[in-house]
Amino acid sequence: MTQRPPRLLQYGRMPLPALDRELAERYDVAVLGEQADPARFLAEHGATFGCAVTSAAMGLPAHVVDALPHLRYVSSFGVGFDALDRQALLRRGARVGYTPGVLDDCVADMAFALLLDAARGLSAADRFVRRGDWSRQRFGIHTRASGKRLGIFGMGRIGTAVARRAAGFDMQVAYHNRRPVEGSPHLYLPSLLELARWSDFLVVTAAGGEGTRHLVDAEVLDALGPQGFLVNVARGSVVHEAALAAALQGGRIAGAGLDVFEDEPRPLPALLALDNVVLAPHIASGTHETRRAMADLVLENLAHCLATGRPVAEVPWSAEAAAARQAQAA
């Protein structure tokens, strides 16, 4: 007798359509976002699911977790986990996998693309040429990136990848974390304010969540100063978007490059009118190579959970809670 595949609740369609197909081939999948009445569906069928799949952008809200009494494993497509309801998942005792590591290089590449664009005005120059302005006036002079000071807020995997790229531009690198990174060759500054004062370019690669919400505020932007540039490839919540728009409008910083926003997909309207900020639609991991690697890790996390009880790559607070439960059981 053929064994039925495990039931899997997919919160919504995944960023890579091939992953939708592969999940459906391996599991008995129901896509919650495509149910006529999601609340009723959860009430009637929630107890049949032991696994769930989502993405960093979609997250998994408490009301969904609470409707899945037998939820044991979650596999999330992405490196951010602030949209996953931590307390609900901890109450449920679910193990939560995510996809770190495989997107570091592409996100670091994007950080430098935004940095160079903001410094040299490439997007603005493209608009200048397309409008026909080149035949009537000169574009103007912008800022060199090579040899400048690069500050990194969040020296994790992605921050470290950004620092490696900075070496090719002969940049000095400093960083701020909650604590110094053991073995790092780069200058550690004990506060974000000090890092902003030191930096010509401040790149944000810190994790999202309430602990980092609006840490890049008006005071930090003023410390960065009228010659400084901000680049954010982390989470929109880390930067106070209204304060950033005001600083850009007032010339209190020179420019910015943003791949993430506080209310996606709706950047603050004031940003849309500014030529000294480069805006991208949260595409740092959006390459064929990286999205495929992320999809593979989503599938691997699920398979490993079902085989061993834990994902290959686990969200830190999920791993800590599992270790605590195991210690208590011993």
Q: Which of 86, 282, 291, 304 is catalytic?
A: 282
Q: What is the edge-to-edge ordering of all strands in the sheet holding 73-77? A: 28-31, 7-10, 51-55, 73-77, 95-97
Give the span between the Cα atoms of 175 and 195, in whole angstroms. 7
H or E element: which one contains 173? Answer: strand 172-176
Give the span between the Cα atoms of 301 and 123, in whole angstroms. 39
213 is an active site residue: no
Q: 277 with 271: CB under 8 angstroms?
A: yes
Q: Which of 34, 44, 219, 264 is catalytic?
A: 264
Cβ partners under 8 Å of residue 152, min gap 6: 159, 162, 163, 173, 174, 175, 176, 186, 203, 205
Q: Which of 235, 240, 291, 304 is catalytic?
A: 235
Which amino acid is residue 180, in one-letter code? Answer: P
300 is an active site residue: no
Which amino acid is residue 292, in one-letter code? Answer: R
- What phi and psi, each to the nearest 5 degrees, are found at residue 149? -95, 125
Give the span between the Cα atoms of 322 and 316, in whole angstroms. 10
235 is an active site residue: yes
Mind telling me the catalytic residues? 235, 264, 282
